[in-house]
Amino acid sequence: MSLVVYLALLASSWVCFRHSPGQALLHVYLPCLLLIPDAFHAITPGLPDPNFHQAAILPIVGLGVLRYRSGWRPRAMDVLMLVFALWVAWSDYTARGYADAQNLMFAMLTSVIFPYVVARLVIPAEQLHVAVGKRYVMLIFAVALIGVFEARFGYNPFLKIPAALFPGQGDGWVTTFRHGMARVAGPYSHAILAGIMMVSAFRIHRWLAWGGHWEARFDRLPSLPWSKSKVLTAVLTLGALMTVARGPWIGALLGGGIAAIGRAGNRQRALRLFVAAVVVGSLVGALLLGRYLDIQPGGPMTLSQETALYRKVLLEKYAAIALDHAWFGWGLTTWPKIEGMASIDNYYLLLSLMHGVPATAMLILLMLGSAWQCARRGLREPGQRGAPLFALAGLFVAVFVSIGTVYLGEQVMPMLFFMLGWAQAWLQSGLAPARHALPASASISVLGAFRFRALIQ
């Protein structure tokens, strides 16, 4: 039954050749990425095991490169992305051999390189900037609405309902609780990952709202007393809060500060104030954290103190192990485990253990370097032209902060590299979409049997 995953490949191929790679991106890839858990794979003997979004992207990237490759202008981040993906794949191959490493190598193609390339080529070629932004936000908006049910009953329908088709898959993901409340994970399997996805949608939504790209009301709910933009803001905020994930909340604050620079009257001054606030806040935060963790031996601790202390000790003990294999790491699953500390809640440390310190440095440079490129270019753009660049810069900073508390996995990995590719497309073209702009082809209703359009409008 797991071979049902290949329906995504067939649907994407049909839309690609019947309409265009961009329409397959809108109507197949994004719904697969944002609505179906990453945990469900097609088990195919002798081949890598794709999940839905990995299967869906194959025809899009193939046809997209064939049609639009002439529009590619190489940039430094393109090279860095490629080296990062190859470094991770090679490190796991040398550590575990091809039989064990093939799925990670396939993931580097379909969850890193291909999303980056598709966003880099297809979105600008078909002028889908606003259409992709809207589709992305509306799909995660739907997840947030369903999250109200999950928070109330502690039942995740995104994982539980499809599980019958994928026996033995996704069983490791369970609903977690904090402060007596079920933490919403949705199709992203873990509450912190869901928090990152909610924050990313919020940042894209605010760009669309500031640019006047949303309709005044929901088409199917014209009598609703609130504007569409306000409803989206409220529901996405609620969605982030229901994850009860502090890392994404802190990332959201910092990312929001960067995005707000794009609306400031004096952007240069706003940037200086933001940097000063971050420096002062970091110093104060470090001081308070030190006092928070200054616990006397045998003294009482709150649950939050236990968690923070665990992460501090974990970092100290595993750092030495990571440095023992600093260049290429120990492999995806073969790094030494310390008894009682099998869970590493810091992706920078985990990545260094698995694939080496250079891989971690490259990932940090991809996120912060892209954020800097976007902010620098946004400072030079007049009016609303710089808004999407500041939104993406804020998104990258939010992810950078968040994955210090969780691993970069499930849909967050392809989302991040999709956004990185999209940022480079903006930086190359420098074109801002017209107010309420939407390409005529974006309204094509495809895959009618699945009613994707009806779901997200």
pLDDT by residue (tens digit) across 3-14?
899 999 999 999
Statement: residue 447 has pLDDT above 60:
no
Predicted pLDDT of residue 297: 52
pLDDT higher for 150 or 298?
150
In a domain, 97, yes or no: yes
Handedness of CA 251, 253, 254, 260 (dihedral sign): positive
Predicted pLDDT of residue 263: 78
Query: What total of structural domains would you count in the chain?
Result: 1
Question: For 51-75, what is the mean pLDDT?
Answer: 92
Confidence band, pLDDT 50/70/90 cuts, at residue 441: very low
Predicted pLDDT of residue 442: 42
Predicted pLDDT of residue 211: 86
Sequence-ordered list of residues with C-beta below 8 angstroms from that of 23, at least 6 positions apart, any chain: 15, 16, 441, 442, 444, 446
* Phi, psi for 197 (deg, rounded to 5): -65, -40
In angstroms, rounded to a whole number, what is the distance separating the alpha carbons of residues 169 and 344? 22
239 three-state secondary structure: helix
Confidence band, pLDDT 50/70/90 cuts, at residue 238: very high
Average per-residue pLDDT for the chain: 84
In a domain, 220, yes or no: yes
Q: What pLDDT, in 10s, does the model give residues 390-405?
A: 999 999 999 999 998 8
In a domain, 31, yes or no: no
Instruction: Give yes or no for a contact between 352 and 329, defined as CB atoms under 8 angstroms apart.
Output: yes
Statement: residue 92 has pLDDT above 70:
yes
In a domain, 451, yes or no: no
What's the half-sphere exposure (Cβ side, CA atoms, 13 Å) at 392?
Answer: 31
Q: Both tokens of residue 181? A: 């409340």
E strand or H helix that includes residue 182: strand 181-182
- Tell which residue, 126, 184, 131, 179, has the closest CA to residue 155: 184
In a domain, 352, yes or no: yes
In a domain, 59, yes or no: no
246 three-state secondary structure: helix
Q: What pLDDT, in 10s, does the model give residues 351-376?
A: 999 999 999 999 999 999 999 999 88
- Bridge partners (DSSP) of residue 181 are 178
Instruction: Give yes or no for a contact between 130 and 388, defined as CB atoms under 8 angstroms apart.
Output: no
In a domain, 33, yes or no: no
Letter for the amino acid at 68?
Y
Domain of residue 270: give its range.
75-443
Question: For 145-170, what is the mean pLDDT?
Answer: 88
In a domain, 346, yes or no: yes
